[in-house]
């Protein structure tokens, strides 16, 4: 289950947590480092890689899979021509549905790490944190040929100590700005409304493909966001031209 309030997202509070970046700040810094304006950096992008310095982008993400409903979700995303970021859990998921993980990768989705057993990382030692992360890294690498570079801490709880371990493992931390709390309802219309009410430019939407009401909500969410002028992207596309920095916390 997720943290229910912004005050719970960052262990220790925003004032003491280091290395937090918003997507637009990451893009701007990368462009300045390259000696470009943010707009100029978009000129080099292909049609398959939207320029979020110009487009009104929002990242669509799913936590805690793959699960039995995930192939249906992949069918919807394929039909809608949308790529999402999947923060994959290990126990009962990557070890149970490897073909679904492979399909995600082959169809252009971004595969990321959401720990082996969803333990709260701020309550663990450095060694225990690594034990939660490494099996998922190994599973995804074995299945897809590439280990994740992104992770999402369970309940959004992180700290400087957690960041140090993620830096060592080569993982950037991705939080969110939109949650439908779909773990607490099967009401598809409510899930849709919550997402649409909270979504703003450069936002990161958090959903869970395992819950009954979520996958049926996705077509309407995509169509409504597009009518409102949003371009739906992966997390890495949202950050580009910046590359995710290990240990850094990205939060809209």
Active site residues: 63, 208
Distance of CA 135 to CAs 42, 73, 126, 131, 216, Å?
36, 25, 15, 7, 31
Comparing CA positions, the residue from 101, 102, 112, 122 lying closest to residue 244 is 112
Q: Phi then psi for 92, rounded to 5 degrees?
A: 80, 5
Rounded distance, CA 67 to CA 173, Å?
23
Contact status, residue 99 vs residue 125, Cβ threshold 8 Å: no
Burial class (CB within 10 angstroms; exposed 0-12, middle 13-18, buried 19+) of 44: exposed
């Amino acid at each position: 289950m997720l943290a229910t309030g912004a005050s719970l997202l960052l262990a220790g509070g925003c004032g003491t947590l280091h290395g937090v970046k918003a997507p637009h700040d990451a893009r701007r810094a990368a462009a300045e480092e390259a000696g470009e304006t943010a707009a100029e950096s978009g000129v080099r992008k292909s049609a398959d890689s939207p320029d979020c310095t110009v487009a009104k982008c929002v990242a669509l993400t799913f936590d805690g899979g793959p699960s039995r409903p995930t192939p249906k979700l992949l069918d919807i995303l394929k039909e809608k021509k949308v790529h999402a970021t999947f923060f994959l859990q290990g126990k009962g998921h990557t070890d149970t549905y490897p073909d679904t993980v492979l399909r995600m990768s082959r169809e252009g989705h971004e595969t990321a790490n959401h720990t082996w057993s969803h333990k709260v990382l701020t309550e663990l030692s450095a060694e225990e944190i690594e034990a939660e992360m490494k099996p998922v890294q190994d599973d995804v690498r074995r299945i897809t040929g590439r280990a994740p570079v992104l992770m999402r801490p369970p309940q959004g709880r992180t700290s400087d100590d957690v960041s140090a371990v993620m830096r060592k493992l080569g993982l950037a931390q991705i939080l969110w700005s939109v949650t439908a709390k779909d773990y607490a309802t099967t009401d598809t219309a409510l899930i849709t409304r919550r997402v649409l009410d909270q979504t703003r430019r450069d936002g990161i939407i958090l959903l869970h493909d395992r819950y009954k009401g979520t996958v049926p909500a996705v077509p309407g969410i995509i169509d409504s966001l597009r009518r409102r002028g949003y371009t739906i992207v992966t997390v890495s596309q949202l950050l580009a031209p910046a590359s995710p920095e290990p240990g850094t916390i990205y939060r809209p």
